[in-house]
C-alpha cells in the first residue's frame, strides 16, 4: 500500500498534464489568451481574399486594418479592454455592431442604417402579420426591406442578410424584432465583443454573434465530420507576432480611404461572402 501511494504521489503531476491536454481539445472551450497593456498584441483573421488585422496597443487604443490583393486600408479604430472572462471589448469610434438572430443578420457597420432601423422593424412586423407560416424562403425574408445604405443612395441592398440557409424560421424573425428593440435604446451600440475559444492548439477570438456557430464547426472537426467554408479559423482572430504583422501590414502598397473601398467588402462577419 505504501508503495502504491508513493507512486501515485509522483504520478499526479503527469496525470494533471494529460488532463489539461485533453481539456484543450474540448469543442469550443474558452481560450485563455490574456491581452496585456505591457505589450502590443496583434491578431489576424483570414477572410477569403481579404485579411483582417487587429492591433491592440498598450495605451488602450486599437485599430483594425484590412488587406486586399492590391490595397491596404485602416477600417476602424477605438478603445479596447479585456474583461474578467477574457472577452475582448472593442469600443469603436466609427462603427456599430451587428444585430442578429439565428441565421439572420442586420449589418450596422454603416451607421446610416440606424435611421432606417425603425422602418425595417415595422416591415418585419407587417411581414409576420401577413404571413402565418412557420418558415419562409430566404429570398422572401431578404426582400422584406431593401434600402440604399452606401455612398450611392440609389444602390439598393437587402437590409436583412440570411447566412447560408434556404429557409428561415418564424421564431428567428420574431427574435430579430426583440434584438432590434434592445439595440435601439442601447448606449453600447458601438461595442464589439470577441469571445476566446480553443481551436486545435491555439486560441481564436470570435465575434459574439458567431460563437455558437463556431463551436459547432469545432465540434464537427473534432468528430471528423466535414465542415463548411474552411473550418473555424475562418471565423476567428489568431494571435500573430510583430514580425508577421509588420511584414503583412506595413509593406509598401496603395493605402485607400474608406470611401474608395466602400463597395469592395465588409467587416468580418458582415457578409457570408467573406
Is 273 within the bounds of a domain? no
| pLDDT score at 252 | 54
Q: CA–CA separation, 261 vs 122, rounded Å?
A: 31
Is residue 174 domain-shared with residue 214, that is, in the same domain? Answer: no
Q: Is residue 75 part of a domain?
A: yes
226 pLDDT exceeds 90?
Answer: no
Domain boundary pick from 183, 200, 226: 183
pLDDT at 137: 96
Q: Domain for residue 10, yes or no?
A: no
pLDDT tier, 94 (very low <50, low <70, confident <90, very high otherwise): very high
pLDDT at 90 over 80: yes
Largest CA distance in the chain: 83
CATH number at residue 237: 2.40.128.640
The answer to whether residue 266 sits within a structural domain is no
Read off the pLDDT of residues 155-212 as tens digits, 9 standing for 90 and up: 678 899 998 789 999 999 999 999 999 999 999 999 999 999 988 778 899 988 888 8
**Within this chain, do residues 120 and 248 fall inside the same structural domain, yes or no?**
no
Question: Nearest to residue 262, comparing CAs of 66, 48, 104?
Answer: 66
Residue 6 vs residue 71, higher pLDDT: 71
Range of the domain at 68: 41-95+192-261
Answer yes or no: is pLDDT of 245 > 80.
Answer: yes
Do residue 166 and residue 124 come from a single domain? Answer: yes
State how many domains the chain has: 2
The answer as to whether 139 is a domain residue is yes
Sign of CA dihedral 205, 43, 110, 260: negative
Amino acid at each position: 500500500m505504501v508503495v502504491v501511494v508513493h507512486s501515485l504521489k509522483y504520478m499526479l503531476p503527469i496525470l494533471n498534464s494529460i488532463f489539461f491536454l485533453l481539456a484543450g481539445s474540448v469543442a469550443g472551450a474558452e481560450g485563455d489568451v490574456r491581452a496585456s497593456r505591457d505589450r502590443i498584441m496583434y491578431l489576424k483573421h483570414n477572410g477569403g481574399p481579404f485579411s483582417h488585422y487587429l492591433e491592440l496597443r498598450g495605451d488602450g487604443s486599437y485599430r483594425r486594418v484590412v488587406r486586399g490583393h492590391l490595397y491596404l486600408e485602416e477600417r476602424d479604430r477605438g478603445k479596447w479592454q479585456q474583461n474578467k472572462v477574457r472577452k475582448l471589448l472593442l469600443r469603436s469610434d466609427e462603427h456599430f455592431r451587428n444585430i442578429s438572430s439565428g441565421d439572420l443578420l442586420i449589418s450596422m457597420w454603416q451607421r446610416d442604417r440606424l435611421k432606417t432601423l425603425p422602418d425595417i422593424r415595422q416591415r418585419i412586423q407587417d411581414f409576420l402579420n401577413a404571413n402565418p407560416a412557420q418558415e419562409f424562403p430566404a429570398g422572401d425574408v431578404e426582400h422584406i426591406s431593401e434600402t440604399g445604405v452606401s455612398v450611392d443612395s440609389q444602390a439598393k441592398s437587402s437590409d436583412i442578410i440570411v447566412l447560408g440557409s434556404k429557409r428561415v424560421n418564424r421564431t428567428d424573425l420574431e427574435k430579430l424584432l426583440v434584438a432590434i428593440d434592445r439595440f435601439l435604446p442601447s448606449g453600447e451600440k458601438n461595442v464589439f465583443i470577441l469571445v476566446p475559444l480553443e481551436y486545435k492548439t491555439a486560441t481564436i477570438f470570435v465575434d459574439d454573434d458567431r460563437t455558437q456557430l463556431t463551436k459547432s464547426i469545432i465540434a464537427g472537426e473534432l468528430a471528423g465530420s466535414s465542415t463548411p467554408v474552411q473550418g473555424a479559423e475562418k471565423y476567428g482572430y489568431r494571435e500573430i507576432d510583430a514580425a508577421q504583422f509588420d511584414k503583412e501590414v506595413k509593406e509598401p502598397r496603395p493605402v485607400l480611404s474608406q470611401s474608395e473601398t466602400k463597395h469592395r467588402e465588409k467587416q468580418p462577419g458582415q457578409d457570408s461572402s467573406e
